[in-house]
Amino acid sequence: MMDFSLSEEQEMVRKVVRKFVDNEINPYIQEWDEQGHFETSILKRLADLDLMGVCIPEQYGGSGMDYNTLAIVCEELERGDTAFRTAVSVHTGLNSMTLLQWGDEWQKQKYLIPQAKGEKVGAFGLTEPNAGSDVASLQTTAEREGDSYILNGQKTWISLCDHADHFLVFAYTDKSQKHKGISAFIVERTMPGFSSKGMKGKLGIRAGNTGELFFDNVKVPKENLLGEEGEGFKIAMSALDNGRFTVAAGACGQILACLEESVKYCHERKTFSKEIGKHQLVQQMLAKMEAGYQMSRLLVFRAGDLKNQGKRNTRETSLAKWQACDFANEAANDAVQIHGAYGYSNEYPVERFLRNSKAPVIYEGTREIHTVMQAEYVLGYRSDKQLSRSLPAWPYDEVKEEV
């Protein structure tokens, strides 16, 4: 039997995050956004609330909740602002869940546990100046030298670039093998030769930190190779299955915020002697938002349900991410429209929603990449096989330690 209701625990988590967002993010977010300020204390507070490793098993420092609870956290966070949901997406979705899936026991003890507890922050370095959608064009290299690899290259558009302690970095160990020559490494900020530089001038997510990473002969011990040499592409794609899930869930929160603000304004603003909510063309925009919200959540929870079962979910997650982000961008555009000229100023939050809602249509697979993927699935050009290493199914009581 399908059950669409939230468990008591999930309802509780939703309430906790909603209260946190209403009390500790919403009163300050406009100022942080205007100043381009990333408020690091938010990550510490999320750690206090045990929300930096929501779906990581307790044995690895997390809260041991299911994957859909992570979706709820992301939805509620993005109802406040995309910046903090993005932080959880890279820290938990792209980094910690990848360590859980691909890491050996030593890597989990050293890196996953402090990340899941929120004592250390993780990020994800895949994109380069000449390699975004086309991952195999990346130019960063990792040359084996004794018991280490020497990394050289550059990454760009990396979320949390100036704040993360650990980075998952993708580099070529053998360029001749094309995408099968890419490997994944855990790099620490403190390793000599590593540096980062945040960027200014972004359209949105201004309260978030994004920028470049530089690797100048960074010596990374061989123990920090994640998976096997040449498995980096596969690892990156499976990381994206988790990151995209969190982005899709966050987009639901963005739609919810658009709905809340728009409904409020519809009751306040009068034209032609009636509330604007009484005009059918305004109602149409609200109805589209509601439809987008409900459809997106169903797609997200379906993908989360597959994760809970330990099943591959690339196709379902891609569809959820594509649709939810498009709906959110459209909802934000309509929210500005409903607010008329006031929506065009920062007197109301909807202009921030519109600016914020664009990046998720670009990152973790652009709208076009997801469109092509979905077409390829229906045409039979693409299909998903179970990976050699899966995320553990939930509940986690059967997770076995690896030696």
Ligand X SMILES: Cc1cc2nc3c(=O)[nH]c(=O)nc-3n(C[C@H](O)[C@H](O)[C@H](O)COP(=O)(O)OP(=O)(O)OC[C@H]3O[C@@H](n4cnc5c(N)ncnc54)[C@H](O)[C@@H]3O)c2cc1C
* Residue 128-157 contact track with ligand X, rule CB under 6 A, x = bound: ----xxx----------------------x
Which CB atom, from 372 or from 399, has the smaller least distance to ligand X?
372
Beta-carbon contacts of 261 under 8 Å, excluding residues fewer than 6 positions away, are 335, 339, 348, 349, 350, 353
Which CB atom, from 157 or from 172, has the smaller least distance to ligand X?
157
Closest C-alpha among 26, 54, 56, 58 to residue 39: 26
Q: What is the CA radius of gyration of the chain?
A: 21
Closest C-alpha among 57, 163, 154 to residue 103: 57
Contact 207, 33 (CB under 8 A): yes
Shortest distance in whole angstroms from residue 159 CB to ligand X: 4
9 binds ligand X (CB under 6 A): no
- For residue 395, whether the previous peptide bond is cis, meaning omega lies within 30 degrees of 0, is yes
For residues 321 and 244, what is the distance between their CA atoms, to the nearest angstrom? 6
Closest C-alpha among 355, 333, 348 to residue 288: 333
Using the contact rule CB under 6 A, the part of the chain among 11-19, 33-41, 65-73, 125-133 near ligand X is 125-133
Using the contact rule CB under 6 A, the part of the chain among 30-38, 137-145, 309-317, 364-372 near ligand X is 364-372
Q: Which of these is catalytic: 39, 229, 364, 368?
A: 364
Q: Is 366 exposed, middle or buried (CB count within 10 Å of its CB: 0-12, 13-18, 19+)?
A: middle
User: Site residues for ligand X, window 333-362 (CB under 6 A)?
Assistant: 359, 362
User: Site residues for ligand X, window 63-122 (CB under 6 A)?
Assistant: 90
* Residue 286-305 contact track with ligand X, rule CB under 6 A, x = bound: --------------------
* Residue 34-73 contact track with ligand X, rule CB under 6 A, x = bound: ----------------------------------------
Q: Is 122 helix (H, G, I), strand (E, B) or coil?
A: strand
Which CB atom, from 56 or from 359, has the smaller least distance to ligand X?
359
Shortest distance in whole angstroms from residue 53 CB to ligand X: 18
Shortest distance in whole angstroms from residue 254 CB to ligand X: 14
Which CB atom, from 125 or from 181, has the smaller least distance to ligand X?
125
Which CB atom, from 298 or from 369, has the smaller least distance to ligand X?
369
159 binds ligand X (CB under 6 A): yes
Which CB atom, from 12 or from 375, has the smaller least distance to ligand X?
375
Beta-carbon contacts of 1 under 8 Å, excluding residues fewer than 6 positions away, are none
Query: What type of residue is 248?
Result: A
Question: First and final CA of the chain: distance in angstroms?
Answer: 38
**Token pair 């379906």 is at which residue?**
302
171 binds ligand X (CB under 6 A): no
376 binds ligand X (CB under 6 A): no
For residues 286 and 274, what is the distance between their CA atoms, to the nearest angstrom? 17
363 binds ligand X (CB under 6 A): yes
Read off φ and ψ for residue 142, nearest 5 degrees. -135, 110
Q: 364 catalytic, yes or no?
A: yes
Contact 254, 82 (CB under 8 A): yes
- Binds ligand X by CB under 6 A, chosen from 73, 112, 158, 391: 158
Contact 317, 248 (CB under 8 A): yes
For residues 92 and 74, what is the distance between their CA atoms, to the nearest angstrom? 11
Task: Report which residue's Cβ sits closest to ligand X.
Answer: 132
- Binds ligand X by CB under 6 A, chosen from 69, 95, 210, 333: 210
**What is the set of active-site residues?**
364
| Residues binding ligand X (CB under 6 A) | 90, 124-127, 132-134, 157-159, 205, 210, 359, 362-364, 366, 368-369, 372
